[in-house]
Amino acid sequence: MVVLGTRGFPNVQGGVETHCENLYARLVAKGCEVVVFTRARYVDPAIKEFKGVKLVPLTCPKNKFLEAFAHTFKGVIAAKKMKPDIIHIHASGPSLCVPLARLLGIKAVMTSHGPEHERKKWAGLPKYVLLLGERLGVVCANAVISVSKANAERLRQWYKKEVAVIPNGVVIQLEAGSAEAGDRTLEKYGLKKGKYILAVGRFVPEKGFHDLIEAFEIAHGSWLIAHGKSYKLVIVGGADHEDVYSKGLRVQGEGLADVILTGRLTGKPLQELYSHAGLFVLPSYYEGLPIALLEAMSYGLSCVVSDIPANRNVALPDERFFKPGDVRALSEKISRFISNPLTEKEKQAQISMIAKNYDWDSIAEKTLDVYTHGS
């Protein structure tokens, strides 16, 4: 099969990229031959294969409006020569090319990672192009997958087509929350175990990190006055395309002594930060099914999240949600839960729930079933 719609992997920032990195290695282990067309500037050209997945770089414009479509168009044309059994296209923008794949006689599967037209960074013409891509993808694909139940229900209502629900997954770390997780990263950033709030994601408006920094300022002042306690806010991530928003977010964060912007982290450093955080916050206005939240919960972290459909797909108590954009409500949630961590029993129950419902091996089996029998 051929895969399009992802920047590529390994270790490329983004939910779709993490999804593909984990999914296709497991499909190869199950006997599939997988070729992923990567976007050349994101993946080291020396990496030709990852865990059995063949990686083929294609150049594309360095433009956030044209990159995905141009790359996918080139990929579909290139795929025709390979005569694949299936072409699997991820996300709404790239799905503009699903009709082309069908026209060329290739069976197409589309995965919707959420209502991408709702993202704050898209307005005007780009928003309508994403809606068109979603429509063409869902209507023309041989089978459709959604990573969340809420999004699947919307797609069924809008397009009157069957949609399979196959969620994102997470890899459970055996040392999560334990001493074995290490603390070198904590030492590097001057952090103490349990004394920092963690957020992970790209520097784009819909992630709401500007709200989080503002809410942290409010809450932090209250802690110092009431308890003399000091916490830090750690935001892990960066921007794919530096713009006014991402530059402004850096200025906002770097202007505060207790806010740490680490840049993008993967592997052991990120595991250490998850393992020892006092609270995880996801203030997004938009998500598909947030892998960062699943990862945080897999470490047994106490979590506070925005009240959006994608986050409601994950089993959290009502008290853990706040209205997106409500900075005052977020600051109150932070103040409340930073000093009230989960009990050991609650941690283990949360970890077990994530392991049961978001296992990548199970996700690979369900995806293979869609390839074979449709959605």
Q: Do 165 and 194 sit in the same domain of this protein?
A: no
Q: Which residues, 6 or more positions from 179, have their beta carbon under 8 angstroms from its beta carbon?
A: none
Tell whether 25 and 155 lie within a shared domain. yes
Verify that 353 and 369 share a domain, yes or no: no
- Looking at the structure, tell me whether residues 256 and 111 fall in a common domain: no
The reply to whether 157 and 206 lie within a common domain is no
Distance of CA 198 to the CA centre of its chain: 15
- Domain membership of residue 108 (yes or no) is yes
234 with 157, same domain: the answer is no
Kindly state the tokens that stand for 228.
């003399």
How far is residue 253's CA from residue 244's CA, in Å, rounded to a whole number? Answer: 14
Please give the pLDDT value at position 223.
65
Decide if 174 is inside a domain.
Answer: no
User: pTM value?
Assistant: 0.87
Q: Which domain holds residue 353?
A: 179-357
Whether residues 70 and 81 share a domain: the answer is yes
What are the residue ranges in the chain where pLDDT is below 50?
177-180, 225
Q: Do 79 and 151 fall into the same domain?
A: yes
What is the reported pLDDT for 125? 83
Give the per-residue pLDDT at 297: 96
Domain tally, the chain = 2
What pLDDT does residue 179 have? Answer: 46
Residues 208 and 343 in one domain: yes
309 and 292 fall within a common domain: yes
DSSP at 190: T
CATH value at residue 311: 3.40.50.2000
How far is residue 42's CA from residue 62's CA, in Å, rounded to a whole number?
Answer: 11
Q: What angle do CA 115, 120, 121 make, to 5 degrees?
A: 105
Pair 327, 253 in one domain: yes
Residue 39: what pLDDT? 95
Same domain? 199 vs 328: yes
Q: Return d(Cα 342, Cα 351) in angstroms, integer.
A: 12
